[in-house]
Amino acid sequence: MATIQRDGDVGPYSARRTRGGQEMNAYDPEISRMCDEEDITGLIRALSQDDASRRADAVKALAQLRDAGCVEPLISALKDDNDMVRASAAWALMKIADPSAIEPLIAALRRGDGYLRTASAGALAELGDTRAVEPLIDALRDDETGVRISAARGLARIKDPRAVEPLIAGFKAGDTGIMVSVRGYIAEALGELGDPRAIEPLRDALRDDKEEEVVREAAAKALQKLEERDARFAGGR
């Protein structure tokens, strides 16, 4: 059976070690020491170092510590001249989950490079703030597949009715190639939003013998959610 391929974490974390029973990135030794000692001030200073890899490590360490005092420096790091640092900053702001990061992440989603847009969309998807609804709707038309997928996931999480029609339009828009995985996520989002306007487009996908299996499978699951919801409402009348 076909399944939708899931993305990994937004942040570029691969090599890991353990700190306090939790997984963490295998940092530069000096950054690792500051992280172990919870030296927030030192890690913030490291964001200004010339070495981009050390700046990225400092961002990741701050994400692990999740101290509210590092939010502003991390927001500034969204404008770093290195793409890894910028994307890591978006991931870190997601982990800290401070509401003051929403608007800067929206700005990064709208104006950043592809890597930063993908990371920012993923962060906004996880944070689930209603301020991100319109930017995430716009991101459904982004050139980057990862951005579109994160946008669909975020709209599913927020469950704002403004997203229903754009999601339906996105579901109908593509039928082959790279759009297949995106449409699967959009179908899932429509199931989560629970709006009956999505029923017919989802049924149309199921009826289409030429439709991709991954899309039909996602449409079937979404329809099941919508029909169960309708049945609950009907039973409550």
Tokens, residue 38? 């919870």
Predicted pLDDT of residue 228: 87
- The answer, yes or no, to whether residue 208 has pLDDT greater than 50, is yes
Domains and CATH numbers, the chain: 18-139 (1.25.10.10), 159-237 (1.25.10.10)
- As given in the structure block, the two tokens for residue 155 are 């709209």
> Among 138, 140, 136, 90, which residue's Cα sits nearest to residue 113?
90
Mean pLDDT of 207-236: 86
Supply the DSSP string of 75-105, one letter for each residue: HHHTT-SSHHHHHHHHHHHHHHT-GGGHHHH
pLDDT tens readout for residues 114-173: 999 999 999 999 999 999 999 999 999 999 999 999 999 999 999 999 999 999 999 987
pLDDT tens-digit series, residues 2-40: 444 444 443 443 334 444 434 444 578 999 999 999 999
Query: According to the model, what pLDDT value does residue 23 have?
Result: 45
